[in-house]
Structure 1
Amino acid sequence: MRLSRLVAAPLAAGILMLAQLAGVGPARAAATDMACNYDHISFNACLDFTHTGLNEWRAHAGLDAAMPQRYAQEIIDYGAGFRASLFGDDHGTGQFLADLTLMPGWPAAGPTGLGAEFAATLSSTTLDEDYNDEDEIYAVVSFFDYHRGVTVAFRTGTVHGEFAPVSEGGGGGGCLVACP
């Protein structure tokens, strides 16, 4: 059994190197795919977009933070000041785009911890942060943890897509609705 593991590891590494040399990489996610960031232990923060109409998108961000239910409820009871903001990722520099609104019924404390969900309907012009290139957008969700006396922030995964405004007939830049 040990010998097979010794052979498998270099074989897997060789296949990965070959894939990189051939130009095979991870598939690109669409603007409507969910992008998550997590550490497998303490949190999961996700962002996704839904196309709701011509040049209009619905942003949705969510946070699940693992902690005891009582601890989470005390954070809520204290008035944690939950906030979520969208940023464009321009070569590692975050460009503020918009704030999201805390959805009704959130935040919530449960057996697995603290949860919050945010949303906003935004125009393509707000989300088109690169103007002539692929847009990279992420959210930062934060709240005040009065137990520790600090504001804690969690970054979602980054959504990659093209949010450039288009005309109803396709008008030169492609279209998000049926083109004639």
Structure 2
Amino acid sequence: MGYHPKIGKIAKIVLINKGGRTNVDRFKQFRPICICSTLGKALECLEVQLLQKYEAEIPSGSRLKIDLENAHGYKKGGSTATAVESLRALTEEGKKKNMFMAGVSIDMSNAFNLIKHSCVGQAIGEFSPSPVVNLLCDYLYGREIYYENGQEGKEGEIHFTNYAYGTPQGG
């Protein structure tokens, strides 16, 4: 255990227009989607199930368990909508108890792209045995994404490899 095949680490970037006018010079008009191989996706699903097994064994009341229960990303059924609903419920509870409240809004754009791989490995190490941590680290290390440049007059592919930030997303 501890090895994730290279074929499962290669993804092709496809740019999806978010709507409106298309201007290829404006990257924010597009949502980059990474298309992985079917084998790579199947392995990811097995690895997620393995991590969820160990996550379920984290002692109730521990700081890590509380943090995981309050998380909305990387969690089945979790989303921006569930995060907002959780905040709304907390606010309502505070109002009923006549508590003072303050709010801070943080723009989390690129949040998934800025996660350090070393931090992910460290967090997983808090509840998983070494072979599982090694598997996850191997899964993150050596990932490759590429973009096929199909613009008129331009040929070739642009490759990015061995980056130390960002995590795969989606299901």
Q: TM-score range by the shorter chain?
A: under 0.3
- Higher percent of residues as helix: 2
After TM superposition, the score normalised by the length of structure 2 is 0.27
Q: TM-score, normalised by structure 1?
A: 0.26
Q: Which has the higher contact order (CA 8 A, sep 6+)?
A: 2
- The structure with the largest strand share of the pair is 1
